[in-house]
Amino acid sequence: MMYTEANSPPTPTFRPTNRVKKAFRSATSQQWFGFAILATLLIFSFLAPHFVSVDGAEQDLGAILTSPNAEHWLGTDHFGRSMWVRLADAIALSFGLAALCVLTASTAGIALGVLSAWFPTRFGKVVELLTTILLALPGLVLVLIFAAIVPGSFWMLYFAIALIQWVEYYRVVRAICQPLIHSPEMEASQLMGFGRWYCFKRHLLPAILPQVLTIAAFGAANAILMMASLGFVYVGIQPPLAELGLMTVELFPYYSDAPWLLAEPLVSLAAMVLGCQLLGRRNA
């Protein structure tokens, strides 16, 4: 016991809460800015529908393409639906997809990365083959084909995006873990009889977490972009659901009558992506 404590004095045990506190303390101003953008959008997407009585599907053909006014704070679209609510729905949908993709892809990527660093011959080779297959095609093309299998399905999009995103976590995690697994401190822990789970928590997780957080932030941005791109070419989420890319195509024909309507989904999309990217940027 004396040995492990002597090796790395400051943090006796690894706790995720400590790590989060540390991340907050060491955040750069850029990261704070990104965090603020994302928090604002998230709060908007959850609270906005409660301020008005209509829902996103309610049409009012007597009041189409109105400019922002007291009743409809962001105007109405070509079916007279409230943009305020639809935008909140679309942002919530994007956040949902991003969160799901990041959670799934990072869990799978970390697990496979650590396991293939630990068992390079048995396990590592199989995973390596799998990544070669996945990386042979550009991600968007793969997602497009998956989207064709079950058209308009949120869950298929989620599956396809998570499927291509875990590879990045896997590669980075494996590269970090490979030297660590044969390091003296890790061997000492194992010789003293600590189990694999303890070794993972004590030695591997603290090393990979900062990297994983960066990948997660950019992965979230990519997932949002990917869904919007598919919506934009009309093969992603289908109407009448609100989705940022889909709203862009739907509102494009009305640009000359109502340019602000086109600007709303575009600005939201750019803000979400920018927020994620700023959050992921560490001081180099």
Partner 1 sequence: MKDLLFKRFIQLIMVAWGVGTLTFILMRSLPGDMAYRLAASRYGQDNFDSSTAELIRHELKLDQSAWSAYFSWLGDLLQLNLGNSMVSDLPVMDTLSHMLGHSLLLAGVGMIIAILLAFPLGLWAAKYGGWADRLTLLFSTSVRALPVFVIGVLLILVFSLELELLPVAGFGTPAHLILPSLALAISLAAVSSRIIRNEAKRVFNSSFFEFAQIKGLSTRKAFQRHGWRNLLVPVIAFFAIQLITVVEGVVMIESLFSWPGIGHGLAHAIFARDIPIIQGAALLMGIMFVVLNTLVDIISYYLDPRIKQEFSE
Binding residue (CB under 8 A) for partner 1 from 23, 47, 126, 150: 150
How many CB atoms neighbour CB 269 within 10 A? Answer: 22
When the beta carbons of 150 and 192 are compared against partner 1, the nearer one is: 150
When the beta carbons of 23 and 148 are compared against partner 1, the nearer one is: 148
Token code pair at residue 129: 């083959």
Q: Cα–Cα distances in Å, from 270 out to 115, 228, 279?
A: 37, 11, 14
Token code pair at residue 5: 């404590």
Query: Distance between CA 222 and CA 101 in Å, rounded?
Result: 10
When the beta carbons of 47 and 175 are compared against partner 1, the nearer one is: 175
Q: Cα–Cα distances in Å, from 235 out to 239, 245, 254, 277?
A: 11, 11, 21, 26
Binding residue (CB under 8 A) for partner 1 from 78, 235, 239, 254: 235
When the beta carbons of 140 and 181 are compared against partner 1, the nearer one is: 140
Q: How far is the CB of 75 from partner 1 (least distance, A)?
A: 18
Binding residue (CB under 8 A) for partner 1 from 85, 241, 273, 279: 273
Coil/strand/helix, residue 282: coil
State which of positions 209-228 bind partner 1 (CB under 8 A): 225, 228
Residue 248 binds to partner 1 (criterion: CB under 8 A):
yes
Residue 237 binds to partner 1 (criterion: CB under 8 A):
no
Residue 277 binds to partner 1 (criterion: CB under 8 A):
yes
Residue 269 binds to partner 1 (criterion: CB under 8 A):
yes
Residue 45 binds to partner 1 (criterion: CB under 8 A):
no
Answer whether the bond into residue 184 is a cis peptide, omega within 30°. Answer: no
Check: CB of residue 97 under 8 Å from CB of residue 157. Answer: yes
Residue 252 binds to partner 1 (criterion: CB under 8 A):
yes
Closest to 68 measured CA to CA, from 271, 270, 259, 268: 259
Q: Per CB under 8 A, which region of 42-50, 89-97, 181-189, 272-280 contacts partner 1?
A: 272-280
Query: Distance between CA 37 and CA 30 in Å, rounded?
Result: 11
Query: Distance between CA 191 and CA 3 in Å, rounded?
Result: 12
Residue 16 binds to partner 1 (criterion: CB under 8 A):
no
Interface with partner 1 (CB under 8 A): 132-133, 136-142, 144-151, 225, 228-229, 232-235, 245, 248, 252, 255-256, 262, 266, 269-271, 273-274, 277
